[in-house]
Amino acid sequence: MTDTEWADILRSSPKEAYGKLVECFGGLVYTIAADKLAGCASKDDIEDCVSDIFVEIFRSSDKYSPDNGNIKTFISTIAKRRAIDAFRQLSRKYSTTEYIDDPDCAPLPNSPDDTENEAEENILRGKLWEAVRSLGKPDSTIIVYQYYYGMTVADIASRLKMTAAAVQKRSLRARDKIKSLIGKGEENG
């Protein structure tokens, strides 16, 4: 659909607008929300965030014009902003603060000037995704659903039409493989 057609759809009835928006951009919005809310949100929280994003898109339909940019950019911008807001709310709600003296406390994030560590993190992330993709489906799908989207083993099993035990077994094997791939990569690099 063209951006002009999307502009018309946004101004149509809520049912029609939501139907088309979720069908075409549901995956993208969900992925954005899952990426921002990683580590602090359950599946229900992510879905609530996604529905809030689409409601805001519908209410902001008068602000969208094809002349200002394409519909995907418009939706992505709103999605990122709402997801970050949801992250802040959920962080307060679930008390995700930690004491720095706690030995189990995660390491502090890199300082803005710590470009070297940030670059290393980016490289590691890239290698991880490369390793995940190299597993092939369905193992890569299991890893992404489990560790990126935060789905449960049962959820994954129903989507992939596998048993939960099979999903668990594949997940375990996949993790070990990824770790060895990453380890080999560090040795070589």
Partner 1 sequence: MDNKELLNKLGGLEDHEIEKVSEEFPPLSDEDKSRIIQKCLDKTTDTDGAEGETVSGTEIYSRPKWYKFAATAAAIAIAAIGICGTVYLTRNMSDPSASDKQNQSTSAQGAAAGSYTITEHVKENEQTNTAVVTSAPVTTTTATEKPYVAYTTETSSTSSETTSSTTETTTETDVTTIDPLNTETTAAATEPATETHTETVTVKLPVGYWKSEEDGRERYWLFYHDGSGGKFHFAETGTGLSFTVDAEEDHAVFHFGSADESTKARITWYNSESFAIDWEETNSHELFEADPDEKIED
Q: Using CB under 8 A as the criterion, which residues of the chain lie in contact with partner 1 when the complex forms? A: 12-15, 18-19, 22-23, 26-28, 30-32, 34-35, 38-39, 47-48, 50-52, 54-55, 58-59, 76, 121, 124-125, 128-129, 132-133, 140-141, 143-145, 147-149, 159, 175-176, 178-179, 182
**How does DSSP classify residue 149?**
S
Asked whether the beta carbons of 36 and 84 are under 8 A apart, the reply is yes
Least spacing, CB of residue 34 vs partner 1, in Å: 7
Beta strands in the chain (DSSP E): none
Least spacing, CB of residue 133 vs partner 1, in Å: 8
Query: Measured between alpha carbons, how far is 132 from 80 in angstroms, rounded to an integer?
Result: 25
Q: Is 5 or 130 the residue whose CB approaches partner 1 more closely?
A: 130
Asked whether the beta carbons of 175 and 146 are under 8 A apart, the reply is no
Query: Measured between alpha carbons, how far is 138 from 3 in angstroms, rounded to an integer?
Result: 35
Least spacing, CB of residue 144 vs partner 1, in Å: 4
Least spacing, CB of residue 72 vs partner 1, in Å: 8
Q: Is 28 or 165 the residue whose CB approaches partner 1 more closely?
A: 28
Q: Cα Rg for the chain, rounded, in angstroms?
A: 20
- HSE-CB at 184 with a 13 A cutoff on CA atoms is 7
